[in-house]
Amino acid sequence: MENEIDGWIAQLSQCKQLAEPDVKRLCDMGAGELLLAPGCMRCTRGANIWCTQSQTREILMVESNVQPVRCPVTVCGDIHGQFHDLSELFRIGGNSPDTNYLFMGDYVDRGYYSVETVTLLVALKLRYRDRVTILRGNHESRQITQVYGFYDECLRKYGNANVWRYFTDLFDYLPLTALIENQIFCLHGGLSPSIDTLDHVRGIDRVQEVPHEGPMCDLLWSDPDDRCGWGISPRGAGYTFGQDISEAFNHNNGLTLVARAHQLIMEGYNWSQDRNVVTIFSAPNYCYRCGNQAAIMEMDEKLSYSFLQFDPAPRVGEPLVTRRVPDYFL
């Protein structure tokens, strides 16, 4: 199995899409015997049990809603189908499995290569499951991908929606958040008025389409804000939250930092709320026109962190999109 996955990774690394049957096999690839950890989706009453069901989704299901991650690790924000910029990220950050990676969602939509991008990341997760963590973003959603490009790209490249279905079904199993060394809480969007503790996150039933409201929605959609307290999000989903909220959440859960993605940052990363929150954005020149830098956050064994900023990779001939996607930056 590993040799086959290695072949897929080599092909995808050249920005060459897999054949539809291979994508189906990737999304349903046998995982062998797996140990379920407390807090995982198949665990009952916190017990450790053994599972032999053999699908890629099982690899994701054994991971908790608050997936533990060890250092060293490199934390990445939005990718949005910008495959050549993902390749640049690996060039400066190191390839798998030499570098451990935590991706905080939004792998698809906007860019021209959502298919190749998400297929490569899933293949890397399957091949190096303990060294690659992939979280769910608000764009890992059936509804959003039908509007912002991934659905149309699958139709254009495969002639049908099967590959879109394989991946959007798999998205339901992606972990919602990660916890680096019990200190740094990582997620795509932000905090929720329905969530006070990490145990509240662990109790969410995540195997579903992203809801329009509620705690799971908030984790993928919310944003930090300069105003205190909770506010109505201009995005139409999730909330805005102030420094008082992030300080209380970090204090109550023994955290030093909330790391998140979800927002375009011109310098690639941005500290906010008295350094209780950091936003990381890893898609340079977003939508091929925003002119921003991208960044990744490297953390060593001592929990010291540094940021690597990078510019877009040289663009090769980009295909024409089949429809203009809305300009609103989700």
Determine the average pLDDT of the residues in 101-105: 99
- Number of domains, the chain: 1
Instruction: Tell me the per-residue pLDDT of 215-237, one tens digit each, with 9 for 90 and over.
Output: 999 999 999 999 999 999 999 99
Q: Give the structural domain span for 250.
A: 63-311
Determine the average pLDDT of the residues in 3-28: 95
Does residue 41 fall inside a structural domain? no
CATH number for the domain spanning 306: value is 3.60.21.10
Residue 41: what pLDDT? 53
List Cα–Cα distances, 150 to 60, 154, 220, in angstroms: 21, 6, 18
Does residue 317 fall inside a structural domain? no
Does residue 244 fall inside a structural domain? yes
Buried/exposed code over 5-15 (b: 16+ C-beta within 10 A; e: otherwise): beebbebbbeb
Which residue did the predictor score with more confidence, 136 or 323?
Answer: 136
Does residue 89 fall inside a structural domain? yes
How far apart CA 204 and CA 94 sit, in angstroms, is: 34
Residue 287 is classified by DSSP as G
Does residue 165 fall inside a structural domain? yes
With CA atoms as reference, report the closest residue to 168 among 139, 188, 189, 147: 139
Determine the average pLDDT of the residues in 295-317: 93
Does residue 52 fall inside a structural domain? no
Does residue 266 fall inside a structural domain? yes
Contacts of 179 (CB under 8 A, 6+ apart): 66, 67, 68, 69, 185, 186, 198
Which element (helix H / strand E) includes 220? helix 215-221
Peptide linkage before 234 cis (omega within 30 of 0): no
Instruction: Tell me the per-residue pLDDT of 116-128, one tens digit each, with 9 for 90 and over.
Output: 999 999 999 999 9
Catalytic residues: 139
Does residue 323 fall inside a structural domain? no
